[in-house]
Chains A and B, each alone.
Chain A
Amino acid sequence: MKVLEKKIMWILVMMLMGVALLVVNIIRKGDSATTSFALGLIGVCILKLIQYYRISKNPTLLKKFKIEQKEERMISIAEKSGRYTLLLTILAEFGAIFVLILLNKNEIATILSFVAGLQTLIYLVIYYYLSRKY
């Protein structure tokens, strides 16, 4: 699959998730923070789709985009960025769990612990899989 089409597909999936979250939140009369998050997600996806549409119509931008997506330095930067993001997210989650326990918000702390644990587990499974593959 072509690079741009792949990107558009991912954006459409994200947008669909945003729409699903918005619909569920409206039906269940959820809070405004979730509605804002869903609307923000949809908005960003729409902007990305406009950007990709512009790129697809301009051969110079398309060529530059394809090089940027495929070239090894960009891939290396994206991988490093993802690694740091995961590390910082897990650290922030553990920090938040600690604070939540101190504030006696044990239910939220338990949910957050589960999320942080699951993230760590997924990381280890993917790491093991990739270390066997390469």
Chain B
Amino acid sequence: MVNCLKNKLEELRKKHGIRQEELAEALEVSRQTIGSLENGRYNPSIILAFKIAHYFGKSIEEIFIYEEEEVK
């Protein structure tokens, strides 16, 4: 079983018309971190996940999707 965390960060950010730099500044992280989150290379801590959810006025589950995949 492989645990996987997907997110809708890029989709939401583009929908709100904000750049990675602006989001990074608001969340007090680097632009590279936003890029890594969007590409799924990095999973945020629960605190950063809450910060992102608060920023977009959504719940964590609306942005982050937890999936379990069977490994054959």
Contacts and interface: CB of A to CB of B under 8 A. Distances in A.
18 contacts: A64-B30, A67-B24, A67-B28, A68-B30, A70-B28, A71-B28, A71-B29, A72-B29, A72-B44, A72-B45, A72-B47, A72-B48, A73-B29, A73-B32, A73-B36, A74-B30, A74-B33, A76-B42
A74 B47 CA distance: 15
Contacts, number: 25
Interface of B: 24, 28-30, 32-33, 36, 42, 44-45, 47-48
Interface of A: 64, 67-68, 70-74, 76
B30 A67 contact: yes
A68 B32 CA distance: 10
Interface of A is mostly: helix
A71 B44 CA distance: 11
Given A71-B28, A73-B29, A73-B33, 13 more contacts: A67-B24, A67-B28, A67-B29, A68-B30, A70-B28, A71-B29, A71-B30, A72-B29, A72-B44, A72-B48, A73-B36, A74-B33, A76-B42
A28 to B, nearest CB: 46
Nearest to B24: A67
A73 B42 contact: yes
A127 B13 CA distance: 40
Contacts of B32: 73
Contacts of A64: 30
Nearest to A76: B42
Contacts of A73: 29-30, 32-33, 36, 42
